[in-house]
Structure 1
């Protein structure tokens, strides 16, 4: 019986695969683009090429799966955000039920379903579909990926700015994707839970973007400043880059939800706290990226 990993080349998947393979487990990967896999990984996994929204592909590709890692890629060209994620939910839940997959680790969102949050709210549809299966399912709800900063690496290098539509004084649960991979790997390898559960992941500590920028400045040895962009400007920028209005609204709504009090993301505990601090991530990941430019 195999552990099957969807989106193996993503920010989490690239850390997850070595951990699973290091345990001696048989690993199957589901991917549109096998060529993106690291060559050292590619020869050690079973590759199934196809689209995650293709119900027939997922049904066939997950036969013989004991534990499934599932992540829902976004779609910046969709005209129906909720419909897109419902398509994923139907695809994966059908395969889980028909193939008798016993364990599922689903990457969801820290923003709960009570918040109207566009794409994040759409992702919760996948939780709902998986909860209707007979599988043991854990929904990992991580905070703000530190790797999101890498999409602005050019501005970080040339201007020393970090730009997001999140209020500067709003505390954020920053998390390194390597820590998410550690938690996912533990669930997939040990398979020691029953039923359906939610596991929120808050990262090492809550910080405002201004405080995070200062920590990152110390880590990389140069001054970084936070630049708040209004929600309207963020939306317009997405549309100008070819994102559909529906998708742009969906992504903007995620950040609109982050204007709400921190409490909507759950109470921090030892179970939700992960080890990699913003400073450590800055030294390990951001500094080498900036130095290479």
Structure 2
């Protein structure tokens, strides 16, 4: 049996959709079972609640071979590292108690960076906590999620601009959520692997934000430009959207690490994922902007 956390989230939903076509029994943990479609509810076992809850994961992990693990973002968390560890610790106890064999988790590229990197450091701390259980573990290591740009769909539509604290002319490695989900599902269905390792997931094109704006303009058939903002402005933007002081600072620290090349280390060069930025703009960004 496979457990899927965040089954209604952007990545978890796509993982679940793929697994439903496979041979394994599926159990999901969700706060709101009503958000699952009737088709899904008919085909999975549902454990209601949060996978931050010790009783919930203890129940959900019983008799399970493999777990898809993703800590959901919480912009109101004051201390991102503590949030990740507190969220993951009950799962690690349940993994050990029930002898779960394999875990596929969503982490980040750049673990070898060695310096503080905001929310990315929280993901790396999560990896270490899971690895300490000795469970078979594959840490998916994506760089910048393209879906992060969707929060600016309204600004792109109304003002023809998107804004980040990233350097305008520095290539930024990115990946689409669909490629993270596809890799996760393949690993969950493959019982042949063991041990612990990271799996880099990098999209096929390394574009600077200025280059991204050019592609957006082409796909949307309207001018779009990139606006590089200061870290103070970036933090203020996050606070305006409801982030806590600590979470907003974590986003700033992450952007600074990205500018410092956190995603560019490591060897050998990994295979690239399938979805190009142009394709993502056609399939995902354009519908969101035109909605």
Q: TM-score, normalised by structure 1?
A: 0.93
Shift of 1:135: 1.6
Could you list the runs of 4 or more consecutive aligned residues of structure 1 that deviate by over 6 angstroms after TM superposition?
none
Number of residue pairs matched by the alignment: 290
CA gap of 1:288–1:241, structure 2 versus 1, over 3 A, is closer
CA gap of 1:262–1:286, structure 2 versus 1, over 3 A, is same
CA distance in 2, matches of 1:40, 1:288: 25
Q: Is the 8 A contact 1:202 1:268 kept in 2?
A: no
Shift of 1:210: 1.0
CA distance in 2, matches of 1:264, 1:52: 32
User: Which residue number in structure 1 is paired with residue 74 of structure 2?
Assistant: 75
Write out per-residue CA displacement over residues 163-186 of structure 1, whole angstroms, 9 at most, x where no aligned residue.
Answer: 111111121112111111111111
CA distance in 2, matches of 1:252, 1:285: 26
CA distance in 2, matches of 1:35, 1:163: 35
User: Which residue number in structure 2 is paired with residue 238 of structure 1?
Assistant: 238
Work out whether 1:99 is the aligned partner of 2:104: no
CA gap of 1:270–1:21, structure 2 versus 1, over 3 A, is same
Q: Is the 8 A contact 2:7 2:30 kept in 1?
A: yes
CA gap of 1:43–1:151, structure 2 versus 1, over 3 A, is farther
User: Which residue number in structure 1 is paired with residue 52 of structure 2?
Assistant: 53
RMSD over aligned Cα atoms: 1.7
User: Which stretch shows the higher mean deviation, 282-291 or 91-100?
Assistant: 282-291
What are the ranges of 5 or more consecutive residues in structure 1 without an aligned counterpart?
none
Work out whether 1:152 is the aligned partner of 2:152: yes
CA gap of 1:93–1:212, structure 2 versus 1, over 3 A, is same
Write out per-residue CA displacement over residues 166-213 of structure 1, whole angstroms, 9 at most, x where no aligned residue.
Answer: 111121112111111111111000122221001111111211111122
User: Which residue number in structure 2 is paired with residue 255 of structure 1?
Assistant: 255
CA gap of 1:77–1:289, structure 2 versus 1, over 3 A, is closer
Shift of 1:267: 4.5
